[in-house]
Amino acid sequence: MVSLLALLAGCPNGSAEGGSDTDGQEGSGTSSADSSDSSGSSDSQTADSSGGNQGGCAAYEPGGIETEEPMIPADCEDPEEDRCRFDQDHDGVPLFCDNAERVPNPGQSDLDADGLGDAIDLCPLVAGDPNNTSDSDRDGIGNACDSCRQTLSTYNGPLETGAIPFSMWVRNNPYQGDADQDGIGDACDNCPTVPNCGDFGPDNPATLGVEVPYDDPTLCQADTNGNGVGDACEDLVGMGFSGVDDFDGDGLPNETDACPRIPVDTSACGGDSGPCEHADDDGDGIGNACDTCPHVANPEQLVEGSGDDADGDFVGDACEPDEGCRERGNPRAIGFFDVSADGYCCVRTYPGDGVWRTPEGLPIRLDCEDGDDTCAPVAPWVAATPGIIDLSPACDVALELACKEEASAVTLDDVGGDIDQLWSFACRLPQHDVDLDGIGDRCDLCPFAHDPTNDFYVDANGREWPNDGAFCNGDYHPDTVSPDNDCWP
């Protein structure tokens, strides 16, 4: 088990508390699994100021995503003869039994038993959305799990007067920290330091799956004068949107706070040195925890009308896997891992060399060089996106503190069946790109065929099919390829 002090609290609900340790997208140390506070409030690691390992490591645990054997229900028909058609995601589970048809998940984990595999479930710990579509703000966190579930117009409607800087508007950040534990996330709370929703708060913290009256302004987030500051905080010194105010109460003035609506962990600076700034890996002035592209500079996201995130999935255009994905929602996925940094899981999702091939059957390999006709390289977006082949730079210190080489997945059993503690380990994974071609699955014409150009299909009569891919139709259709060649041409 990994000590929770090694966690980075910016995982969607930002907790540095709660939880045991380890397995999920599914450590040696002392667990604080008996902690009653699973809300969290920061996005920074609880490292000392030097970034060194406070306890020392005799050895480093490997971690990583473990290979799972296919879990095929006993009453599921063996599709061997039709495997190419019925197991296109190559996870060993037939399509008609697969709870995540378009994402490989051989273990078929379904924590809330709603029939949707955790690999695709927008709210994997709370059942109740059979269509898996309830995500009002399109951030990739289903409404039943999201502490900021309403549309941006609902939050920002009273702010659209020009009196409040655009940088202080509510954004659809999937960050789930809730410093005052009232059930309204810091990222959208109009009074982030004082509970103001129903009777929830430190003495009665809102928990996952328990309904809060988020849509009743008489009970939650009352703002009588409509200035964007809740009545409960109206008279607090520094509560406001000017540059010298400190809206999130973390000791950083709004004008210098890289995430002015998300409190930074003051302990990350090393005790008495005072609050430090949010990590900002790409140097664009926007902290990783509130950045649509934390590893690619895109300061234009804070310029009103820039259109940086046209599809509203909280992934900026600068780091979308392909231009075609800029107008089609493709939010980052959810995982449960014991070490995260600024909300991003410290784990690699690359499945291994040769797991996927080109339409011509060439294996995709990390070490494939230009001119080598026996293999194909990974797509540039795959190589450049932290969390696939390489880890986020911010993970270095977090993993050192945890004495791990890579995070390990956390399961419900690891936390004694406590869904709130498991949710405290929630973190973000890269957008789905199963075939490693640099085209996000939501905008990939052939999500199971490695085709970096995303060519559309032209049939034998010369007719173009712009919504169908060239390498999953015609000679490459699943009904045409042979299982004898592992379903490759």
Residue 96 has pLDDT above 80, yes or no: yes
Q: State yes or no: pLDDT of 4 exceeds 50.
A: no
Tokens 């899981």 correspond to 345
pLDDT at 307: 84
The DSSP string of 30-88 is ---TT-S-------SB---TT---SS--SS-B--BPPP------TTSPP-GGGHHHH-T
Mode of pairing for the β-strands spanning 340-341 and 344-345: antiparallel
Output the pLDDT for position 484: 77
What is the reported pLDDT for 55? 53
Q: Write down the pLDDT at residue 275.
A: 59
Which long-range contacts does 202-211 make (Cβ < 8 Å, 24+ apart)?
Answer: 202/37, 205/36, 205/37, 205/38, 205/39, 205/181, 206/39, 206/147, 206/178, 206/181, 206/182, 207/38, 207/420, 208/125, 208/126, 208/145, 208/419, 208/420, 208/423, 209/125, 209/126, 209/144, 209/419, 210/183
Q: What sign has the CA pseudo-torsion 139, 211, 419, 8?
A: positive
- pTM (predicted TM-score): 0.85
pLDDT at 419 over 90: yes
Q: Mean pLDDT throughout 116-143?
A: 92
Lowest mean pLDDT among 8-12, 236-240, 252-256, 402-406: 8-12
Q: What is the mean pLDDT of residues 129-148?
A: 92
Please tell me which residue, 90 or 1, carries the higher pLDDT value. Answer: 90
Average pLDDT over residues 473-489: 82
Nearest to 42 by CA among 340, 296, 470: 340
Per-residue pLDDT, averaged over 216-235, amounts to: 94
**Please, where are the H alpha helices in 298-452?**
380-384, 395-402, 419-423
For the cut 80, the answer to whether the pLDDT of residue 141 exceeds it is yes
pLDDT band with cut points at 50, 70 and 90 for residue 18: very low
State mean pLDDT over 70-88: 78
More confident residue, 360 or 255: 255
> Which region among 37-46, 99-108, 168-177, 441-450 has the lowest average model confidence (pLDDT)?
37-46
pLDDT of residue 160: 57
Query: What pLDDT score was predicted for residue 76?
Result: 82
Contact 26, 413 (CB under 8 A): no
Percent of the chain with pLDDT over 70: 84
387-400: pLDDT as tens digits: 999 998 889 888 99
Reported as a single tens digit per residue, the pLDDT across 287-300 is: 999 999 999 999 99
Question: What gap in Å lies between CA 353 and CA 418, rounded to an integer?
Answer: 36
Confidence of residue 20 (pLDDT cuts 50, 70, 90): very low
Q: In which band, very low, low, confident or very high, does the pLDDT at 232 lie, cut at 50, 70 and 90?
A: very high
Residue 7 pLDDT class (50, 70, 90 cuts): very low
Asked if 163 and 228 touch (Cβ cutoff 8 Å), the reply is no
| Dist. CA 14–CA 189, nearest whole Å | 15
* Confidence band, pLDDT 50/70/90 cuts, at residue 53: very low
Give the separation between CA 322 and CA 320, rounded to whole angstroms: 6
- Averaged over 87-95, what is the pLDDT? 88
423 contacts: CB under 8 Å, gap ≥ 6: 12, 13, 38, 125, 145, 176, 208
For residue 295, give every residue at least 6 positions away whose Cβ sits within 8 Å of its Cβ, in sequence order, or none. Answer: 281, 282, 319, 385, 386, 392, 393
Whose CA is closest to 412, among 37, 135, 126?
126
Residue 38 reports pLDDT greater than 60: no
Residue type, 143: N
Ranked by mean pLDDT, the top range of 42-46, 152-156, 214-218, 323-327 is: 214-218
Q: Name the residue with higher pLDDT: 63 or 160.
A: 63
Domain boundaries, the chain: 1-68+107-350+393-446, 455-489
The pLDDT confidence band at residue 80, using thresholds 50, 70 and 90, is low
Q: State yes or no: pLDDT of 113 exceeds 70.
A: yes
pLDDT at 462 over 70: yes
